[in-house]
């Protein structure tokens, strides 16, 4: 379309099809969602596969839409990333997660971090580090109470990402690579970045069968992670067979519907109080 020069606007405006109108409505709706408190976090436990104890909780965003009900993140996070709205939304997520982490601490649960998903676009925000530092102060948290889940897409701008990750590490914030193995072809970056943990993507865990290639792949990722001194967590565990395979291959942490779906904060409190995790 670019070579059409001055006709650009014409070109686009005559092409306002259903999809772009829907997108615009969605963008407006999303701004409103942020202003009117329609965004909520659900929480999913991360379990030690050795002791059975809860060792972390991941915060996952949902949009409680007044008309359409609960909307899953994959329906609006991509648009939020495209429009830049992910920056204010991401800030809201970080603040809400830290507030919740403090509330759990007040109930006596001090040990585990809360894990928050962070988009690469948020790394372009100059205020991110100061914002996180201020949140830790506001809610009396140590850096190790907060874990950021980032994807391999940060490698697109390795120089900037390295600076940000090192600054986060100065705050003692934990860093994990989400969807590990799905995004980037080179592993060499791993040894240059201050990463604490890798999350084996659900797509690998889905098809674990003994002696299958998928199983071998998961085993290889676990071994590599252990050799490089990363914690390794497997996501998307749904069955006993998957759990068994992961345990046998020395994966020490797991997350998935087998333990619990993501649940609202009040249910998470019940979950913690009931000692369900044991
Ligand atoms: P993710 O970070 O890889 O999160 C894992 C997704 O798998 C979550 O979907 C979770 O509910 C789901 N899941 C967990 N265990 C199981 C299982 O055993 N079986 C199945 N079938 N699914 C399982 P969800 O909550 O719909 O989130 C989807 C994605 O949206 C996330 O993938 C993440 O990339 C993104 N996302 C969620 N919350 C946020 C957020 O606050 N900020 C950003 N930037 N992205 C977010
Ligand atoms: Ca995640
Ligand atoms: Ca993931
Ligand atoms: Ca993902």
Distance CA(265)–CA(270), nearest Å, equals 9
* Ligand 1 shell residues, CB under 6 Å: 44, 60-61, 72-74, 77, 86, 90, 93, 117, 119, 149, 178-179, 202, 235-238, 255-257, 262
- Residue 14: the pLDDT is 46
**Is the alpha carbon torsion for 164, 127, 125, 141 positive or negative?**
positive
**Span 95-133, pLDDT tens digits:** 999 999 999 999 998 889 999 999 999 999 989 999 999
Distance CA(34)–CA(123), nearest Å, equals 20
* 150: β partners: 177
- Residue 12: the pLDDT is 44
ipTM for this model: 0.98
pTM of the model: 0.92
How is residue 28 written in tokens? 């407006």
β-pair type (39-48, 253-254): antiparallel
- Residue 184: the pLDDT is 66
- Residue 47: the pLDDT is 97
Name the residue at shortest CA distance from atom 19 of ligand 1: 236
The 3-state DSSP class for residue 45 equals: strand
Phi, psi (rounded to 5 degrees) for 125: -85, 115
- Residue 276: the pLDDT is 55
- Residue 6: the pLDDT is 43
Enumerate residue ranges in the chain where pLDDT < 70: 1-18, 184-186, 210-211, 276-278
Distance CA(112)–CA(165), nearest Å, equals 21
How is residue 138 written in tokens? 């506001």
Spell out the residues 6+ positions from residue 171 whose beta carbon is closer than 8 angstroms to its own.
Answer: 129, 132, 133, 136, 143
The 3-state DSSP class for residue 276 equals: coil
Identify which of 62, 73, 153, 208 to mutate to test ligand 1's pocket (most ligand atoms within 8 A of the CB): 73
**Span 70-79, pLDDT tens digits:** 999 999 999 9
90 CA closest ligand 1 atom index: 42
Beta-carbon neighbours within 5 Å of ion ligand 2: 117, 149, 178
The 3-state DSSP class for residue 194 equals: coil
Q: Are the C-beta atoms of residues 59 and 100 closer than 8 Å to each other?
A: yes
């Amino acid at each position: 379309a670019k070579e059409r020069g001055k006709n650009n606007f014409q070109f686009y405006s005559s092409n306002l099809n259903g999809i772009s109108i829907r997108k615009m409505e969605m963008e407006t709706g999303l701004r409103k969602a942020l202003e009117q408190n329609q965004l909520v976090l659900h929480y999913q436990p991360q379990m030690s596969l050795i002791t059975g104890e809860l060792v972390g909780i991941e915060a996952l965003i949902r949009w409680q839409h007044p008309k359409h009900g609960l909307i899953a993140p994959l329906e609006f996070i991509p648009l939020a990333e495209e429009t830049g709205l992910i920056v204010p939304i991401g800030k809201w997520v970080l603040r809400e997660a830290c507030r919740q982490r403090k509330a759990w601490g007040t109930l006596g649960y001090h040990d585990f971090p809360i894990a928050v998903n962070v988009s690469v676009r948020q790394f372009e925000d100059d205020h991110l580090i100061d914002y996180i530092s201020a949140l830790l102060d506001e809610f009396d948290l140590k850096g190790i109470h907060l874990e950021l889940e980032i994807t391999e897409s940060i490698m697109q701008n390795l120089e900037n990402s390295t600076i940000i990750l090192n600054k986060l590490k100065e705050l003692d914030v934990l860093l994990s690579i989400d969807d590990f193995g799905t995004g980037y072809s080179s592993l060499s970056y791993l040894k240059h970045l201050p990463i604490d943990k890798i999350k084996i993507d659900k797509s690998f865990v889905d098809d674990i069968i003994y002696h299958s290639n998928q199983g071998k792949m998961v085993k290889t990722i676990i071994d590599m992670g252990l050799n490089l001194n990363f914690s390794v967590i497997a996501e998307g565990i749904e069955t006993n067979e998957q759990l068994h395979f992961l345990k046998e291959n020395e994966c020490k942490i797991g997350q998935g519907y087998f333990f619990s779906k993501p649940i609202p904060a009040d249910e998470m409190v019940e979950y913690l109080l009931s000692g369900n995790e044991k």
